[in-house]
Every structure is written in structure tokens, then in C-alpha cells.
Amino acid sequence: MTFFWIDTKDEIFFNPATFENTNYPDTRRRGVEAGLNVRPLPWLTAGGNYTYIIPVLRGGAFSGNDIPGVPRDKWSAGTKIDIGKGFLFDARLTYVGRRYLISDFGNQIDRLDGYSTSTPNSRIHGKD
């Protein structure tokens, strides 16, 4: 488990009005990330992690609003199966939570829906 507190000065954002990158004076991300991996059988590994973030703009006209593009919730879960003879199958499911559209510093537009991705993968690997 990891607790974090990140203060950033002059974070770069895209400004859609000018089509240029500009700096926002101060941002803060506080949160916690927890993860766990287990290997219940010699050929099976499973695990996951969860992150909760409080993303806040600091200073300027939008102080106290959420940082655009940063979700408050994100999680991931996956498994690896060693099939044998050098074959490995792994799969991961990731969820990214609702967040404000990038450059919506006023948090005026409804949040974008969360989304998930899955990444199944099989490959040949060498012996460790």
C-alpha cells in the first residue's frame, strides 16, 4: 500500500482555444494505491491494484476544482497462467473512472464516462 501527495508547479495542459500548451500554476494529487499478487499454484499468478486520487487545481481562477483528465478511481486485475513448454497466457482488465474533459478547468461539462480495457496475451517465454 502506498500513500502519496504530489504537488506540481507549472503543469502543462493543452489549451483548445489557442491550440497551444500552457502551464497551470499549481496542482495537487493526493491518494492511496493498494495492490496484491498471489501465486496459489506454481503455474498460476493472480493479482490486482486499486488507486484512489483526489486531483485538485490550486491557485488561479479554478482553484479547488478537479484536475481535468484525472479520474478519482482506477483499478486493474489480472492473471498469468504458465501453460508449460515455454507458453505463457496472461490477461489484464483495467478500469479508469469518470473524469472531466481535458482542459475543462471550470469542471462545467459533465464528467466523461469511465471505461475499461482488457489485454489478453499469450507468448512463448524462456526459462528463468
- Pairing relation of β-strands 87-96 and 121-124? antiparallel
Measured distance CA(43)–CA(78) in Å, rounded: 14
Please report, as a single letter, which amino acid is at residue 118: S
pLDDT score recorded for residue 39: 96
- Given a contact cutoff of 8 angstroms between Cβ atoms, the answer to whether 93 and 75 are in contact is no
- Given a contact cutoff of 8 angstroms between Cβ atoms, the answer to whether 89 and 58 are in contact is no
- Backbone angles phi and psi of 117, in degrees to 5: -130, 150
pLDDT tens track for 60-95: 889 999 999 999 999 999 999 998 888 889 999 999
Give residue limits of the domains in the chain. Answer: 2-124
Q: What is the share, in percent, of the chain residues with pLDDT greater than 70?
A: 97
Q: Which of 16-20, 52-56, 57-61 has the weakest average pLDDT?
A: 16-20
